[in-house]
A = this chain, B = another copy of it.
């Protein structure tokens, strides 16, 4: 990819990757499913012969499950999006840091004492809420899922609706994966200077389109920062036009990329080396042992000393000494 790359360029790149002359891909490493679907559609003969697909993203995984359901997935695919280390690093640990970074780089807001509404208490919301609380903000959580809501309570956050808090919070962060979580109606109630940002999914969470009306004035105060001005002079500070704050206004630490890339590489090697028949025409989760292996490769960075099971202990627990150490449903 390059700065200023257009839609046509994008597909030209994909084309070069999947079907350049004299080049026979045997594995697909995809992030979003575009390469997969391009090959399936335009080069079905090549597609049928590949060993497998490794897919990174929520969207791409979703598309794979749909292919599988409709019987069109004629090769094995591996969902690495839901591996433990990938999930925790991409969501909880990375966002715990980028929420602070993204807000500071764009607004220089002081966190101490600020009233912040974190919408959604999944991994991303948990990371954002913990970081902001750690810096002295007073965080309120909104949730639709009673289990996550109860977790928020036990972690010391008040659970309210966006309506409850719209006119008092200083900062609003969406982390739901849902759409129209913050609407024009909510923003009409917000106080002057309220900051609105999205850490969740794509650009759907904040109803930005509702702000593009004649009665509101947009003023770009700097890159990624717009003031939306109401007729009475009230200003809302909208970050990244509602796109992802963590990608638009912060950076992803190289350590997170290392975890993700390592997971992808191991999944590709696994698919390539797997004995005939281990993977069928279906979507698989990364084997837990490889998930554990990715983690173990990143421990030396922290000078961490892992404990080894004795033979006696391994027998007592009914485990192999080399893992995997947990049942499939373990929640970490």
A residues near B (Cβ < 8 Å) are 82, 84-85, 87-88, 93-94, 96-97, 100-101, 104-105, 108-113, 115, 131, 133-138, 142-162, 164, 168, 177-180, 204, 250-251, 253-256, 285, 291-293, 295-296, 298-299, 301-310, 312-313, 316-317, 323, 325-326, 328-329, 331-332
Contact = CB atoms under 8 A, between A and B. Distances in A.
Contacts of A93: 110, 112, 136, 154
A154 B136 CA distance: 6
Contacts of A85: 147, 150
A296 to B, nearest CB: 4
A112 B145 contact: no
B131 A306 contact: no
A304 B151 CA distance: 11
9 contacts: A85-B150, A97-B110, A108-B254, A113-B301, A147-B326, A150-B299, A161-B306, A329-B329, A331-B332
Contacts of A87: 331
B156 A137 contact: yes
Nearest to A298: B150
A306 B146 contact: yes
Contacts of A164: 305
B153 A113 contact: yes
A325 B143 CA distance: 11
Contacts of A302: 113, 115, 150, 153, 158-159
A253 B108 contact: yes
Given A110-B253, A332-B331, A304 B153 contact: yes
Contacts of A250: 104
A161 B292 contact: no
A131 B137 CA distance: 12
Nearest to A119: B307
A306 B113 contact: no
Contacts of A144: 306-309, 325
Nearest to A251: B108
What 4 A-B pairs come out closest when comparing CB atoms? A134-B134, A110-B253, A159-B304, A146-B296
A328 B325 CA distance: 20
Given A147-B332, A150-B299, A135 B168 contact: no
Contacts of A146: 292-293, 295-296, 299, 306, 323
Nearest to A136: B156
A159 B97 contact: no
Given A104-B251, A143-B307, 11 more contacts: A87-B331, A100-B135, A113-B154, A131-B135, A135-B156, A144-B306, A144-B309, A145-B323, A145-B326, A177-B317, A285-B329
Contact of A162 (B109, B251, B307): B307
